[in-house]
Structure 1
Amino acid sequence: MSPYDEDGLPTYSSAISEKIYLESRTSKGYWTPRPPSIRLYLTNPRRLTKLTSTRITRRKSWLLFLVTITASLCFFYLFDFPSLRRDKYPRSARDWPGISVGFTKEVDESASSTLVFEREEIQRIWQWEIESGHFPSNGKVPEQVGLSTAPLNPALPPRRVPTIPSRFRPPPGPVATTTRGDGPKRVYYGPQFKEGEVAYPPRPVPGGIADLDVIMQHCDFELDKYVRDCLEVLRVGAGLNNGRGLRRAPTDEWNYVYLHAGRENFTEPASEIPIAKVIASASSESTPDQRAPSNNNNPHTNPNAGFVKKKDAPWEPALVLSDPAQASREGSVAEEASAVVETIEMDGACDPENPHVFHMFWTGPFTDKPYASILSFLFTQNLGLHLPAGAAEVAGVCRPQYWIWINPEHFERFRSPAAARAAMLESLETNPWSAPFLDGRFRDAIKFKMWNTTEQLDSIPEIKDDWRAYSGSLLNSGGHIIDVAPGGANANANNADEAAGAGAGAKAKSEEYDKGSVVLSDMARFVLCHRFGGIYVDADTLFLRDWSELFHTRHAFAYRWSRLDKYNTAVLRLNRRSALGSWLFRTAFRNNLDFHPMTVTQYAKDAYLDALLRMLPDALFDSAWLNTEEFQRDRPPQPYFVAFDNFFHTPASASAQPQALGFEGFFRGAYSYHFHNSWFKPFDVSRNWPDLGARFVAGERAARQAADPDTPPAEWADRVADDKRDLDWATVVKRTFEAYVRGERPNAYGEWLAW
């Protein structure tokens, strides 16, 4: 109602009413602050009343009201951030304590779960791995496992006794999530240079162990660590800067290699890091487990509460495990019963439980890709090739071996394993890319072995009696099944070999992606590591430094799938005949023998065993991956690849770097480089043949003739004008490795090859 009558005279009943009206006129909008000191804006009823009564009709006012309500609902819907809340809160009401399931829609989680082991067996696996020294980490045991007491951990040094009085300590929780160190004290050390020898980096100290907890602090993608910074820490801690470091402050906090106390054999005094400090620093930045904790671990009510079993699958019986102290050394009970005893011939400095063996799986004709990988192995690993042939062992050094597993083509035409192996050796001897590695000088380092799927699967006690049930579906990766056995269950292993072999042969001719051999290799890497121990590496992997410090850590590991929280098993380490491996094979058997790395990730997470198969940062083995997926391009490492193809075809803007920086400028600090397939792109466009000098000239001539059949050998001549002007990174690293074999330069650690 207007405060004025028809003649324009005020109708105030008092001075107070007039004052209120005049003050309200100072608010020109539809919101008024109440009170001014807080400036909380509230609706101005007078203005809204005036608006609806004088300027807008009643119908229009209702329309405005509906529009306002609709806009408000849209605002709250859009900005409720459901996508960000999805991983923070549980998926179903049964994960919320105190909330009735009746108010929410029930979700069938068993439809996607892969879990086939009960909590008691998961606890047993954790206990076995810890007692075996396979968990040298301050990481947490998941609460869902439900350990009642903290187990003794022989791979960790003892913690210092807390000085806080007991009455001030928090009460113990219902389950244990930590382990109690019961092992030798650790002594961390930096690079060990000898006086006057800084032209090349030093070899790792014998027995040195990489602390993966420290590496994770500086390299973990989840902690927003850059690959560039990680590589600096890795090379400084290993002395790969060759005394050319530019940091003036002490870098002791970057020391990630340690020895057990009592084994110090340094050329310089070692620095000791207080154990309490190491434990605190290693655990303070660990990523907490985001999975919903179990609300009921009481075995008297429900022993598997919180565990979601695979749908329509029975609980697996208890695994047959040997005593942890004798694990892998004497074989499992099931293995002894079947009279299948593995023997691994290594030198006396090697631990039979932890053999320093690399595995590669290859199908089809030998090419420049496995050739380059083997050369990089000879160039970087501590093989003693600088010593005369037959020289005595180096004290404390376990010389690694590279086992090349060949899946031969046309497997069914061989009537006996001996005939198949003879044919395999003949093909290797006549192939110029593989023939050099049959030389007697490399006999103790490079070993070619024949892959037989039937024999290999029959050697795995956990599945040897069951795997034939998968007739026609033995090659399964991520649910993609390649039909290999139309003739029956007993033939499917041989057909798998044939399918992969024939596929690789077709690949070499038609450049088609061979899915069969890739899927078979997904399974083969787990078979080889579980059966023999060691580390599997993909054939498209180049070694960049000595791996002995990784071998000495007993932690099983793979590495991260770029930005995703998934495994990439292009590098895989499993302990021989471990409880973790036994669990994995039984779980895979109940899930269609699927060994795709992302499926293995789900296995581990569903069973709360992912901390036992550690996910290392991809910076250690695959430093370019994040950049190729448009991550961390603001501070990339050296070299800077926006695509994996840059390794074989370096962009013109960066084409001066390979020749100027050489091998030492290629992801310095990383353990390896994974170039991700590119099977048909030659390492060296101008010289696409093995170039190893006069000792192996016969193979070079054969490869040259195949590469350039139109030019007669009499006209072969090496001219600079015929070479590519700007050499690519792939060409530089290949020629560097070949120069070492030719005797024109030392290896990565300054050691000359002695013939």
Structure 2
Amino acid sequence: FTDPSTLVFSPAEIERVWRWEIASGHYPSRRSTPGDLRRERIVKAEVERRLRAGGKDTTDSSSSPTTSLEVVPVGPVREYLDLPLPGSRQAHAYPPRPDSRAALDLDAVMDHCDFAENKYVRDCLEVLRVNGGLETPLRRGLHDPWKATYIPEFETSSKQLTLSNQVTPLLSNQQQRRDASSSQQQVPIYEPHPSHPNADPACDPDFPRLFHIFWAGPFTDKPYSAALSFLYTQHLALDRPIGVDPTRLEPGLCRPQLWIWINPGPASSFPDPRAERRMRDDLARNPWSAPLLHRRFADVVKFRLWNTTEQLDGVSEMHGWRDMRLFNSGGVKYGKEGGGDMAASAEAALLSAREATNNGTVAGTANLTQVAAPLPTKHKDELFEIVGSTANKYDRLSVVLSDMARFVLTHRFGGVYLDADTILLRDWTELFNWHGAFAYRWSRLEKYNTAVLKMQRGSALGHFIFRTAVANDLDFHPMTVSRYTKDANLEGLLLRLPDALFDPAWLNTEYYQRDRPPQPYFKRFEDFFDTPKEINAAPVATGFDGFFKGAFSYHFHNFWWIPFDQSRNFPDLGPRFQAGERWGDDERDFADLDWSDESVEDDERDLPWSAVLKRTFEAYLRGERPNMYGEYINWSSDDREY
């Protein structure tokens, strides 16, 4: 059985997508374009030549850029950093931050990490650790074969200028030509983009450093932990006093921002005109979200209201979406087709979806972004329970909407989309400086998982995906998107990175590479929350440093109903945020909320990995320990109780 083709673009349009992306600097790879495109161009040129030979027009078609230009990208010149990195643990107890200009060569990463080439996650993480300066190598000898971090240098040679001149006529309009020209300049013009006006001056407006998370329902420990991992790992200058502009002391600093998109109701509900104010009030009352509203984080953590109508209207390729079935996942459609009441139709579909089988392929469980429901816990922690879901009860339409939302947000604003069940494990500077688009591999399958998705704002690739999705009933499930790019021969433009970078346990959970697993060794995704006793000495003994070291993030694949920390199921941020914790539930008496008489004997003896990571992040915010790069958070200008 073969799936029908999803292709809606002609070969000429596909070639234009390739050329636009290359000319815009969105394809830094040195890998050549697919051979099918070149063969198609040769055949077309030959047909046109023979037709002209029989008629009046005898113009030599070889002079046309469409037939004469071979699309063989070279990417920027690579000046690789020597390994081991200077200062990576020789004189310091903590690893260095990446150079602000450094990029990770994802071509080299594929060479060391590609599952299709029988590369092991364990070996891949070692190469990534050494390139990131996260450890001093134990191996002696030259590390040249492992070099993967470089400082991009954009050529201005006559050869490159000739290439640009040939590509320019193929761009569709003047605006695209301006964008392509600007992106190839060695020193970009740093003018804030209207969609991201509060970025640091050193940030390139063409390549914003944004993380997007989509969340539906009450804020819980899951997005809270994702946000804390962002604060713990990214270069945010939180070691500077509050209110001080860190870019004055470090002009080249470009701080990433975390945009948390809150969908205030079911995916099908109409937007409430008062939704923005109600969202802010709810976030301020919720103990998991209230700490993130502190002005210490105001420059780097932004809560934004998701409005489906506004967002889809902002994508020109989605014109006419109101007359379509908005909710489609892997071919399973929800709601009535045609010009009926979309919201009411989808609301009815929600009830049907909740009764559907808990099938990951249908509901997109790899991209699930859903309301957490902590299990009942003992004594003081039950104050922070949030009534909610179990494994088979959740807002499936929000899941399906999140499949679409990740493409909408990255196409409109740029940056990286993360599923809320993601924990960041290191600085992402080197990935932001790779200007190509990527997702990652669906375990052993040659399909995309878009739990991590990086795309550039307004790109030709995004235009292709939306036009193709509209022609295929608005299906944005990653399995279906995999078909879109494969059918069009555009897989190279949306690089399918090895899951070792973002999901290093996945292969082991599916019985692959168990002969040489990484550290830690998870046979089930549940092991993150309920680490088996025989290996449960590792979390406390090794801490954050021993958790998939080298990977950029960890995806724990749902389990919204299991708390991160069974014995301390609350935001344990100390006296500074105690008032916020007391605001958490106005129906309960928080006068007795006091843990001053606690004893370590009351705690769980064996802590799972999830609890160790959460407590590590919280200790950083309490000022009791530095982050992974040795930087202490600075509360010096604001000692008032929050």
Please indicate the TM-score interval, normalised by the length of the shorter structure: 0.7 to 0.9
- Asked whether 1:529 is paired with 2:410, we answer yes
Q: Secondary structure at the match of 2:304?
A: strand
Amino acid corresponding to residue 356 of structure 1 in structure 2: R
1:584-613 CA distance string (max 9 Å, x none): 100000000000001000000000001100
2:503 alignment partner in structure 1: 622
- Asked whether 1:459 is paired with 2:314, we answer yes
> Which is bigger in relative contact order (C-alpha 8 A, separation at least 6)?
2
Q: Closer, same or farther in 2 for the Cα pair 1:618/1:180, shift >3 Å?
A: closer
- Out of 123, 129, 153, the position equivalent to 1:229 is 123
Cα distance in 2, alignment partners of residues 253 and 148 from structure 1: 36
Amino acid corresponding to residue 105 of structure 2 in structure 1: D
- Out of 83, 98, 112, the position equivalent to 1:204 is 98
Q: Secondary structure at the match of 1:738?
A: helix
2:201 alignment partner in structure 1: 348
Amino acid corresponding to residue 15 of structure 2 in structure 1: Q
Q: Closer, same or farther in 2 for the Cα pair 1:354/1:733, shift >3 Å?
A: same
1:52 alignment partner in structure 2: none
Cα distance in 2, alignment partners of residues 128 and 573 from structure 1: 17
What TM-score do the two structures reach when normalised by structure 1? 0.68
Q: Closer, same or farther in 2 for the Cα pair 1:129/1:621, shift >3 Å?
A: same
2:575 alignment partner in structure 1: 694
- Asked whether 1:391 is paired with 2:265, we answer no
Contact 1:327 1:578 in 2 (8 A): no
Q: Secondary structure at the match of 1:678?
A: coil
Cα distance in 2, alignment partners of residues 545 and 252 from structure 1: 23
- Out of 609, 621, 631, the position equivalent to 1:741 is 621
2:304 alignment partner in structure 1: 449
Q: Which runs of 5+ in 2 are unaligned?
A: 43-66, 156-170, 184-192, 355-369, 374-386, 636-642
Shift of residue 255, structure 1, vs aligned partner: 1.8
- Out of 263, 267, 278, the position equivalent to 1:423 is 278
Amino acid corresponding to residue 588 of structure 1 in structure 2: A
2:79 alignment partner in structure 1: 186
Shift of residue 547, structure 1, vs aligned partner: 0.2
Q: Closer, same or farther in 2 for the Cα pair 1:461/1:411, shift >3 Å?
A: closer
Q: Closer, same or farther in 2 for the Cα pair 1:176/1:319, shift >3 Å?
A: closer
- Asked whether 1:474 is paired with 2:326, we answer yes
Amino acid corresponding to residue 249 of structure 1 in structure 2: G
Q: Secondary structure at the match of 2:572?
A: coil
2:133 alignment partner in structure 1: 239
1:112 alignment partner in structure 2: 4
Contact 1:474 1:496 in 2 (8 A): no
Give the 5 Å matches for 1:230-629: 230-241=124-135, 243=136, 245-261=137-153, 322-326=175-179, 342-389=195-242, 390-393=244-247, 394-409=250-265, 417=273, 419-463=274-318, 465-470=319-324, 473-483=325-335, 488-489=339-340, 491-492=342-343, 509-511=388-390, 512-629=393-510
Amino acid corresponding to residue 608 of structure 2 in structure 1: D
1:130 alignment partner in structure 2: 22
Contact 2:225 2:614 in 1 (8 A): yes
Cα distance in 2, alignment partners of residues 128 and 710 from structure 1: 59
Cα distance in 2, alignment partners of residues 718 and 215 from structure 1: 47
1:67-102 CA distance string (max 9 Å, x none): xxxxxxxxxxxxxxxxxxxxxxxxxxxxxxxxxxxx
1:109-161 CA distance string (max 9 Å, x none): 7x700000101100111110011111111212112223759xxxxxxxxxxxx
Contact 1:207 1:396 in 2 (8 A): no
Q: Secondary structure at the match of 2:81?
A: strand
Contact 1:141 1:176 in 2 (8 A): no
Shift of residue 345, structure 1, vs aligned partner: 2.4
Give the 5 Å matches for 1:58-69: none
Q: Pairwise CA RMSD of aligned residues?
A: 3.2
Amino acid corresponding to residue 206 of structure 2 in structure 1: E
Q: Secondary structure at the match of 2:619?
A: helix
1:629-685 CA distance string (max 9 Å, x none): 000000000000000000000101001110000000000000000000010111111
Q: Which has the larger radius of gyration?
A: 1
Q: Which runs of 5+ in 1 are unaligned?
A: 1-106, 150-173, 264-317, 331-339
Q: Closer, same or farther in 2 for the Cα pair 1:382/1:724, shift >3 Å?
A: same
Q: For this pair of structures, how many residues does the alignment match? A: 551
Q: Closer, same or farther in 2 for the Cα pair 1:228/1:321, shift >3 Å?
A: farther
Shift of residue 323, structure 1, vs aligned partner: 1.8
Contact 1:475 1:520 in 2 (8 A): yes
Q: Closer, same or farther in 2 for the Cα pair 1:259/1:628, shift >3 Å?
A: same
Contact 1:567 1:597 in 2 (8 A): yes
- Out of 553, 556, 573, the position equivalent to 1:675 is 556
Q: Secondary structure at the match of 1:358?
A: strand
Q: Closer, same or farther in 2 for the Cα pair 1:624/1:444, shift >3 Å?
A: same
Cα distance in 1, alignment partners of residues 463 and 282 from structure 2: 35
Cα distance in 2, alignment partners of residues 327 and 385 from structure 1: 35
Shift of residue 623, structure 1, vs aligned partner: 0.3
